[in-house]
Amino acid sequence: MATDPVSPGAEAALESIRDGIAKGRFPAHVFNDRQIFDIERQRVFSKAWCFLAHESEIPDRGDYVTRYIADNNLIVARAESGDIHASLNMCRHRGNMMCKSEMGNASHFRCSYHGWVYKNSGELVGVPYMKEGYEGRIDKRDWGLVKVRTQTYAGLVFGTIDPDAPPLEEYLGDFRFYLDLYLKQGSSGSEVHGPPDHWVTDTDWKIAAENFAGDGYHTPVAHQFGFNLGYFASSGSTHSQGWAASIPGKGHGIGLGHTPGFPPFAGFPEELADEMRRSLSPEQVEVFSQTRTAVGTVFPNLSFLMQPFSIVPGEAGVRFVTMRLYHPIGPGRTEMYSWCLVPKDASEQYKREAYRAYTLAFAQAGTFEQDDLENWARVTRSAGSTMARDIEFPYVMGMDSVRDPDFPGPGHVVTPYVNDSNFRNLWSRWSDYMTGQV
Ligand code: FES
Ligand code: FE
């Protein structure tokens, strides 16, 4: 691993940020800062389990996508054995990028510079002029593509470049209870519906990650039209109701919006709701059946949202799931990936409707996405200003709230849904990484 670039002054500043979070304060500049960005690459993204792909994006042997961990481009491929491998997209000869497309199918990759050939699992199998040039001085077994460790949970493929990272199961911890809502829609699980929407935005990844960790506070304001026009199957006046659940010490958090009188599993086809009642645990069924909106973030930069959306205003909503990855490409600049996840076993008609609801609400041009991005870009710009260096934000909502003793799900669970509890947990974990505790 490269040397850690953090100066003693920056270390002290990070420690002071860490102390501030415990008191409900977090500095503005963190959301658009070159030094913070550089340290995040080294200490957060080079250490955490980072989301790479959903297994259903590469269902067949040879299928691949290219994705990033920090600034490292990776080929994530399903090999001939059926196993998934992630390898650094960098030729071991002189460093050329091996694969130039974002997705495709290939059993091998041939370097366009001097012609070294690798299997999609990363092994070097072909070297031009091997006998004449190298005269036995290299062993192909030593010069395969650099491998990245991967593990999966319910179809999600994660990778880490930290050899000492704990197993993924431990990393996700009890958040798996909540992830199942998105990933186990029906007994066969969920799959992506088409390739991701993919765009670049002048937004810091942390603003998006925080919002999706359960910012129910912004919804009645930023997305006011949704209530006014009838796209939302609830009303702004009940929007604070529900729970904020976070997993202490892990950073993951989810907001669970609840509308009294909302029919159980509203917006799902009835047969799918029945399947979920059978395949999920009784505690999960109790939580999920009464959830209108579920919006959560897996630390650091993977988020999900599920909610019903009325394709025709005023009519019954269709429940859709979006999964989103915020890949940081600069201070205050993010490459967004956004997928629609649908239940594998659902009818084609429901999959199409869910995709339609997702596209109208989120994706690159969705109305809700536009509302959010407009705000996030302005927050990012302000956070990068000179006066913002000395400004802090309050994270004190629900500071003293205690765990709801009746809630059947794991973690620190507080009510109402409008609460900073999940964000304190998120930034506290971020601080653990940034101060080198992880
Ligand atoms: Fe790939 Fe030379 S850089 S073969
Ligand atoms: Fe929003």
Contact 220, 239 (CB under 8 A): yes
Angle at 225 (CA atoms; ends 219, 231), nearest 5 degrees: 85
The residue assigned the tokens 């250490």 is: 47
pLDDT at position 380 is: 98
- Is ligand 1 within 6 A of the CB of residue 96? yes
Amino acid identity at 347? S
How close is the Cα of 246 to the center of ligand 2, in Å? 19
Contact 427, 24 (CB under 8 A): no
Measured CA to CA, the distance from residue 316 to residue 391 in angstroms comes to 44
Domain ranges for the chain, please list them.
50-160, 173-434
Measured CA to CA, the distance from residue 293 to residue 211 in angstroms comes to 13
Measured CA to CA, the distance from residue 19 to residue 109 in angstroms comes to 49
Q: What are the structure tokens assigned to 19, written together?
A: 């102390």
Q: Is the pLDDT of residue 374 over 80?
A: yes
Average pLDDT (395-407) is 95
Q: Which fold has domain 50-160?
A: Rieske Iron-sulfur Protein (2.102.10)
Ligand 1 pocket: which of 75, 90, 91 to mutate (most atoms <8 Å of CB)? 91
Q: Is the pLDDT of residue 146 over 80?
A: yes
Contact 409, 177 (CB under 8 A): yes
Atom of ligand 1 nearest to the CA of 111: 1
pLDDT at position 6 is: 87
pLDDT at position 314 is: 85
Closest ligand relative to 129 C-alpha: 1
- Is ligand 1 within 6 A of the CB of residue 113? yes
Atom of ligand 1 nearest to the CA of 96: 3
Average pLDDT (170-188) is 96
Contact 37, 380 (CB under 8 A): no
- Is ligand 1 within 6 A of the CB of residue 175? no
Phi, psi of 209 (to 5 degrees): -60, -40
Amino acid identity at 283? E
- Is ligand 1 within 6 A of the CB of residue 93? yes
The hierarchical CATH code for the domain 173-434 is: 3.90.380.10
- In terms of Cβ atoms closer than 10 Å to its own Cβ (0-12, 13-18, 19+), residue 421 is buried
- Is ligand 1 within 6 A of the CB of residue 100? no
Residue ID of nearest Cα to ligand 1 atom 2: 114
For residue 393, name the pLDDT band (cuts at 50, 70, 90).
very high
pLDDT at position 196 is: 97
How close is the Cα of 139 to the center of ligand 1, in Å? 16
pLDDT at position 351 is: 97
The residue assigned the tokens 């869910």 is: 354
Q: Is the pLDDT of residue 3 over 60?
A: no
Q: Is 435 helix (H, G, I), strand (E, B) or coil?
A: coil
Q: Is 230 helix (H, G, I), strand (E, B) or coil?
A: coil
> Which residues fall inside 5 Å of ion ligand 2, going by CB?
372
pLDDT tens by residue, 304-362: 999 999 999 888 899 999 999 999 999 999 999 999 999 999 999 999 999 999 999 99
Closest ligand relative to 110 C-alpha: 1
pLDDT tens by residue, 205-216: 999 999 999 999
Residue ID of nearest Cα to ligand 1 atom 3: 94
Number of residues written out for the chain: 438
pLDDT at position 4 is: 64
Count Cβ atoms below 10 Å from residue 311 Cβ, excluding itself. 17
- For helices 205-212 and 367-383, the axis angle rounded to 10 degrees is 130
Phi, psi of 143 (to 5 degrees): -125, 35
Average pLDDT (75-90) is 98
Percent of the chain with pLDDT over 90: 90
- Is ligand 1 within 6 A of the CB of residue 114? yes
How close is the Cα of 91 to the center of ligand 1, in Å? 6
**Which run of H or E residues covers position 180?**
helix 176-183
Residue ID of nearest Cα to ligand 1 atom 4: 114
pLDDT tens by residue, 206-263: 999 999 999 999 999 999 988 888 888 777 778 889 999 999 999 999 999 998 888 8
- Is ligand 1 within 6 A of the CB of residue 111? yes
Closest ligand relative to 118 C-alpha: 1
Average pLDDT (89-95) is 98
Q: Is the pLDDT of residue 2 over 60?
A: no
- Is ligand 1 within 6 A of the CB of residue 145? no
Atom of ligand 1 nearest to the CA of 94: 3
- Is ligand 1 within 6 A of the CB of residue 350? no
Measured CA to CA, the distance from residue 179 to residue 113 in angstroms comes to 43
Ligand 1 pocket: which of 100, 108, 113, 127 to mutate (most atoms <8 Å of CB)? 113
Average pLDDT (394-422) is 96
Q: What are the structure tokens assigned to 57, written together?
A: 């994006």
**Poorest-confidence range of 81-85, 98-102, 171-175, 219-223?**
219-223
Binning the chain into helix, strand and coil, the percentages to the nearest 5 are 35, 25, 40
Measured CA to CA, the distance from residue 292 to residue 308 in angstroms comes to 7
β-pair partners for 191: 342
C-alpha to C-alpha distances, 213 to 124, 149, 159, 170, nearest whole angstrom: 42, 26, 21, 20
Contact 77, 85 (CB under 8 A): yes
